[in-house]
């Protein structure tokens, strides 16, 4: 049956069209003004909006409402209340008012707070984010909200993002006004988040404790065929996966999520979804919805969706490409070079601001992509390395070099691609190639940040990106607003800023060892692991930046650092305990049983022929015995480590112990187990192998 996309798109969203239709003109105007200008909403207006929202929700089958928020867990949270109420006569009525719309009161004590809140300090508040549309999910009206504690401490990912949007808007407006543009009223960051994921058969995965508890495999030998034939990438989509993708598109479209592109990714069982760009706040909400729907719909199709950054050790992991740009409310992309970027001074100024921002705050961008899961992925010839750099391409680099030297840029004439087949049309050749090894690549009219892990909320990276660029623009505006000769000051500013910060630009192969050495010579940071990166969140310059733009207080930054370090330690601890469970109760008994079977076979052989001193069985037993001893020793060491891992004085010490000791022992245990997998008969191995999992969808 054909899908009428225009008729279903946004059908479960209380969007602008619905509000325009259902709200009185003065209420609609006041609400739009509140969103666009930040003016406060009166309770009378909120009551009118709540009434219309309730009626619309009931008509669309909703029975409950919930304040939908994004705590520091990295996923969304919701507490559902029904519209049902009882009047004085004892009759059922459906009730929802402005107070319930504007403010909710979930328990704050059970969410991560990094020491900001004690367990007994339970009260927390959710506050309606009117800039993101309400929607219906599973019979509940979901109202996007910010989340804070009783004392006003920020405990979510949305609030810093909203604040950073204000900071970027404020400083960007100062810049465009210098170029004589007084018609622009608002400037926003726009984002398109490409989402990678794996799909495997649900029944096959159910006997894998690591997938159940950790979302990834902790054991698994390399399969006979991985991704080396490069036949999965952009290949024909299997029917079962295609049906899932169709269902996913349909449900996303109902929720107003502009799902655009779908394809097979590089690894077997790996896929990708990409949406149309939208404002960063809405893009963040929509990406959370996308991940949630991927998981729930996969189950309906008899599959499991894995969003872990490295579900399988032998093949590529999954990332999330964060395509970031800046746009005006008049529809102009400020990172659009135009046909003659050398003569587009406004573009060059914004471009230089990004270069300056990324160079000065490379540590913040790196830690925004830090997690236990992403440590397995970064730098593995499938994702960018831990060294933050920018790819501009030859043309833009040459233009900025010319500006730095105050020289005339000769320019390159755009040519057409000549394929050499008469029936194929010619088309203009892009002035820059794509660099898939770069952490941050300029791709025509946006920057693609490729370090993010697939399970991440995009909020952290984007509030950092917004803030660091806002800071660079602020410094530029401060220097230019009082200039006697604007054009001369502008050229000098771009030239000096580029010269000072061009060390961050690298157009080569970021996977190469030569780049590691070159980056070190340039003075760029290389925080390989999460425990290397996260402590820099509280560096003085970073605290000063975030406080000066009103994004986070020092206490909130410290709390976030504690939360992220604690999350790292807990993740590794769960994985270590799961490994021990699988090794002790599944792998070891299975291997010993197989050895016993071989011993019986060898003894039977010897009874038949006393002259046989050596047999295949005996040789295999010896190999198995040596590896089993290695496995048993690794189990013992890891078990001992997990008993001592929480004895540090602070979150950083504990995280370092997990990284430096526990992770090493986990690696040793895995090596022994994976070697045993190659020797033990398939029917004796206790759980599905990589070959079973990666090729489970026919």
| Span 76-103, pLDDT tens digits | 988 999 999 888 888 877 899 999 999 9
Q: Is residue 482 part of a domain?
A: yes
The DSSP secondary structure of 26-72, one letter per residue, reads HHHHHHHHHHHH-PPPPHHHHHHHHHHHHHHHHHTT--EEEEEB-BT
Of the pLDDT bands very low, low, confident and very high (cuts 50, 70, 90), residue 119 is low
Distance between CA atoms of residues 439 and 568, nearest Å? 22
Q: Is the pLDDT of residue 647 over 80?
A: no
Name the token pair of 612: 């046989």
Q: Using the 3D structure, point to which of 487, 519, 552 is the last residue of a domain.
A: 552
Name the token pair of 5: 């996309």
Most confident of 52-61, 107-116, 480-489: 52-61
Question: Does residue 600 share a domain with residue 541?
Answer: no
CB contact set of 77 (below 8 Å; sequence gap of 6+): 68, 69, 70, 71, 106, 111, 147
Q: Is the pLDDT of residue 419 over 50?
A: no
Q: Is the pLDDT of residue 305 over 60?
A: yes
Question: Does residue 657 share a domain with residue 509?
Answer: no
The mean pLDDT of 190-198, rounded to a whole number, is 97
Question: Does residue 378 share a domain with residue 244?
Answer: yes
Most confident of 85-89, 231-235, 675-679: 675-679
| Span 556-566, pLDDT tens digits | 999 999 999 99
Question: Does residue 177 share a domain with residue 113?
Answer: no
Q: Is residue 346 part of a domain?
A: yes
User: Residue 677, exposed/middle/buried by CB under 10 A (0-12, 13-18, 19+)?
Assistant: buried
Cβ neighbours around 42 below 10 Å, total: 12
Q: Is residue 181 part of a domain?
A: yes
Query: Which one is predicted more confidently, 233 or 276?
Result: 276
Distance between CA atoms of residues 652 and 465, nearest Å? 25
Cβ neighbours around 240 below 10 Å, total: 16
| pLDDT value for 226 | 77
Pairing, β 440-442 against β 390-391: parallel
Question: Does residue 249 share a domain with residue 371?
Answer: yes
For position 624, which CATH number holds?
1.20.120.1560
| pLDDT value for 241 | 95
Q: Is residue 562 part of a domain?
A: no
Q: Is the pLDDT of residue 338 over 70?
A: yes
| pLDDT value for 117 | 64
Q: Is the pLDDT of residue 192 over 50?
A: yes
Name the token pair of 408: 């005339």
Q: Is the pLDDT of residue 633 over 80?
A: yes
Cβ neighbours around 33 below 10 Å, total: 13
Q: Using the 3D structure, point to which of 129, 156, 183 is the last residue of a domain.
A: 156
| pLDDT value for 365 | 97
For position 303, which CATH number holds?
3.30.590.10
Q: Is residue 558 part of a domain?
A: no
| pLDDT value for 251 | 97
Query: Which one is predicted more confidently, 281 or 155?
Result: 281
| pLDDT value for 417 | 40
Question: Does residue 458 share a domain with residue 325?
Answer: yes
Rounded to the nearest 5°, which phi and psi values hold at 413? -80, 130
| pLDDT value for 343 | 76
User: Residue 613, exposed/middle/buried by CB under 10 A (0-12, 13-18, 19+)?
Assistant: exposed
Distance between CA atoms of residues 341 and 465, nearest Å? 23
Q: What is the domain extent for residue 602?
A: 568-694
For position 23, which CATH number holds?
3.10.20.70
The mean pLDDT of 185-190, rounded to a whole number, is 96
| pLDDT value for 418 | 46
Contact 373, 309 (CB under 8 A): yes
| pLDDT value for 435 | 66
| pLDDT value for 223 | 87
Distance between CA atoms of residues 328 and 179, nearest Å? 14
The mean pLDDT of 356-373, rounded to a whole number, is 97
User: Residue 419, exposed/middle/buried by CB under 10 A (0-12, 13-18, 19+)?
Assistant: exposed
Cβ neighbours around 82 below 10 Å, total: 14
Contact 561, 114 (CB under 8 A): yes
CB contact set of 274 (below 8 Å; sequence gap of 6+): 192, 194, 195, 260, 261, 262
Burial 274-310 (b: 16+ CB within 10 A, else e): bbebbbbbbbbbbbbbbbebbbebbeebebbbbbbbb
Question: Does residue 465 share a domain with residue 495?
Answer: yes
Distance between CA atoms of residues 270 and 305, nearest Å? 10
Distance between CA atoms of residues 488 and 494, nearest Å? 10
| Cα torsion 216, 220, 222, 226: sign | negative
| pLDDT value for 430 | 52
Nearest to 319 by CA among 391, 259, 371: 371
| pLDDT value for 1 | 65
Helix (H, G, I), strand (E, B) or coil at 331: coil
The mean pLDDT of 200-224, rounded to a whole number, is 95
Q: How many residues does the chain have?
A: 698
**Number of domains within the chain:** 3
Question: Does residue 528 share a domain with residue 592?
Answer: no
| pLDDT value for 116 | 67
Q: Is residue 421 part of a domain?
A: no
Distance between CA atoms of residues 400 and 352, nearest Å? 9
Q: Is the pLDDT of residue 611 over 80?
A: no
Between 379-393, 472-486, 537-551, 569-583, the lowest mean confidence (pLDDT) is in 379-393
Question: Does residue 238 share a domain with residue 95?
Answer: no
Query: Which one is predicted more confidently, 540 or 341?
Result: 540
- Measure the CA dihedral 401/405/408/409, to 10°: -10
**How much is the CA Rg of the chain, to the nearest whole Å?**
28
Q: Is the pLDDT of residue 432 over 60?
A: no
User: Residue 72, exposed/middle/buried by CB under 10 A (0-12, 13-18, 19+)?
Assistant: buried
Contact 279, 188 (CB under 8 A): yes
| pLDDT value for 563 | 94
Between 329-343, 449-463, 664-678, the lowest mean confidence (pLDDT) is in 329-343
Question: Does residue 194 share a domain with residue 47?
Answer: no
| pLDDT value for 609 | 59
Contact 218, 209 (CB under 8 A): no
Distance between CA atoms of residues 430 and 637, nearest Å? 56
The mean pLDDT of 49-78, rounded to a whole number, is 93
Contact 656, 531 (CB under 8 A): yes
Query: Which one is predicted more confidently, 91 or 139?
Result: 139
Q: Is residue 422 part of a domain?
A: no
The mean pLDDT of 129-134, rounded to a whole number, is 93
Of the pLDDT bands very low, low, confident and very high (cuts 50, 70, 90), residue 222 is very high
Of the pLDDT bands very low, low, confident and very high (cuts 50, 70, 90), residue 421 is very low
| pLDDT value for 121 | 61
Q: Is residue 563 part of a domain?
A: no
Q: Is the pLDDT of residue 124 over 90?
A: no
Most confident of 1-10, 225-234, 531-540: 531-540
Q: Give me the percent of the chain exceeding a pLDDT of 70.
A: 93
Question: Does residue 313 share a domain with residue 233?
Answer: yes
Nearest to 354 by CA among 255, 463, 498, 234: 498
Rounded to the nearest 5°, which phi and psi values hold at 195? -115, 115
| Span 511-530, pLDDT tens digits | 888 999 999 999 999 999 99
| pLDDT value for 155 | 87
Q: Is the pLDDT of residue 645 over 60?
A: yes
Q: Is the pLDDT of residue 553 over 70?
A: yes
C-alpha distances in angstroms, 294 versus 180, 272, 603? 46, 11, 53
Question: Does residue 168 share a domain with residue 99?
Answer: no
| Phi-psi label, residue 379: left if phi above 0, alpha if psi -120 to 50, beta otherwise | left
Q: Using the 3D structure, point to which of 140, 156, 172 is the last residue of a domain.
A: 156
């Amino acid at each position: 049956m054909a899908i009428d996309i225009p008729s279903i798109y946004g059908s479960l969203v209380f969007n602008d069209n619905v509000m325009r239709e259902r709200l009185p003109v003065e209420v609609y105007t006041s609400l739009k003004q509140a969103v666009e200008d930040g003016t406060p909403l009166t309770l009378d207006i909120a009551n009118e909006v709540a009434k219309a929202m309730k009626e619309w929700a009931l008509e669309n089958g909703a029975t409950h409402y919930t304040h939908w928020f994004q705590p520091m867990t990295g996923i969304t949270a919701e507490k559902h209340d029904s519209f049902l109420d009882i009047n004085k006569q004892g009759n059922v009525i459906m009730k929802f008012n402005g107070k319930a719309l504007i403010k909710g009161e979930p328990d704050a004590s059970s969410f991560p707070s990094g020491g900001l809140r004690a367990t007994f300090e339970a009260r927390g508040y959710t506050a309606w984010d009117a800039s993101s549309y309400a929607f219906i999910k599973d019979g509940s009206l979901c109202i996007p909200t910010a989340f804070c504690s009783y004392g006003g401490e920020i405990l979510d990912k949305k609030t810093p993002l909203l604040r950073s949007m204000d900071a970027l808007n404020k400083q960007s407006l100062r810049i465009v006004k210098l170029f004589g543009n007084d018609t622009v009223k608002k400037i926003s960051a726009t984002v398109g988040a490409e989402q990678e994921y794996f799909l495997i058969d649900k029944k096959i995965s159910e006997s894998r404790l690591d997938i159940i508890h950790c979302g990834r495999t902790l054991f698994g030998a390399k399969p006979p065929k991985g991704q080396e034939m490069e036949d999965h990438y952009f290949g024909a989509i299997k029917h079962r996966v295609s049906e899932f993708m169709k269902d996913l598109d349909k449900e996303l479209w109902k929720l107003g999520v502009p799902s655009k592109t779908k394809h097979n990714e590089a690894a077997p069982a790996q896929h990708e979804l990409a949406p149309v760009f939208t404002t960063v706040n809405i893009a963040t909400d929509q990406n959370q919805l996308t991940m949630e729907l991927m998981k729930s719909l996969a189950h309906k199709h008899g599959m499991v969706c894995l969003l872990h950054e490295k579900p399988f050790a032998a093949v590529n992991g999954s990332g999330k490409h964060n395509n970031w740009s800046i746009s005006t409310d008049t529809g102009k992309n400020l990172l659009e070079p135009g046909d003659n970027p050398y003569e587009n001074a406004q573009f060059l100024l914004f471009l230089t601001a990004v270069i300056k921002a990324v160079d000065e705050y490379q540590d913040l961008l790196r830690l925004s992509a830090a997690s236990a899961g992403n440590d397995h992925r970064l730098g593995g010839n499938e994702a960018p390395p831990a060294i933050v750099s920018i790819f501009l391409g030859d043309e833009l680099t040459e233009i900025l070099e010319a500006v730095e030297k105050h020289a005339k840029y000769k320019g390159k004439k755009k040519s057409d691609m000549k394929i050499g087949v008469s029936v194929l049309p010619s088309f203009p050749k892009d002035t820059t190639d794509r660099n898939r090894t770069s952490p941050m690549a300029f791709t025509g009219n946006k920057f693609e940040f490729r370090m993010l892990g697939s399970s991440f909320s995009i909020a952290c990276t984007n509030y950092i990106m917004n803030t660091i660029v806002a800071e660079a623009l602020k410094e530029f505006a401060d220097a230019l607003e009082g200039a006697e000769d604007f054009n001369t000051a502008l050229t000098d500013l771009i030239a000096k800023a580029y010269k000072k910060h061009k060390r961050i630009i690298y157009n080569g192969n970021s996977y190469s060892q030569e780049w590691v050495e070159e980056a070190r010579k340039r003075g760029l940071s290389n925080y390989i692991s999460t425990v290397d990166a996260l402590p820099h969140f509280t560096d003085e310059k970073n605290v000063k930046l975030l406080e000066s733009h009103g994004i986070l207080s020092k206490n909130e930054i410290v709390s976030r650092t504690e939360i992220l370090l604690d999350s790292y330690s807990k993740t590794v601890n769960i994985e270590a305990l799961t490994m021990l469970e699988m090794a002790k109760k599944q792998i070891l008994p299975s291997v010993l049983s197989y050895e016993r079977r071989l011993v019986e076979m060898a003894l039977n052989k010897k009874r038949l022929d006393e002259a046989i001193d050596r047999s295949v069985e005996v040789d295999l037993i010896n190999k198995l015995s040596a590896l089993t001893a290695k496995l048993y020793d690794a189990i013992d060491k890891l078990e001992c480590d997990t008993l001592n891992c929480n004895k540090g004085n602070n979150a950083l010490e504990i995280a370092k112990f997990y990284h430096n000791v526990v992770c090493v022992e986990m690696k040793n245990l895995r090596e022994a187990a994976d070697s045993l997998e190659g020797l033990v008969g398939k029917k004796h191995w206790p759980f599905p192998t990589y070959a079973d999992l990666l090729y489970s969808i026919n």
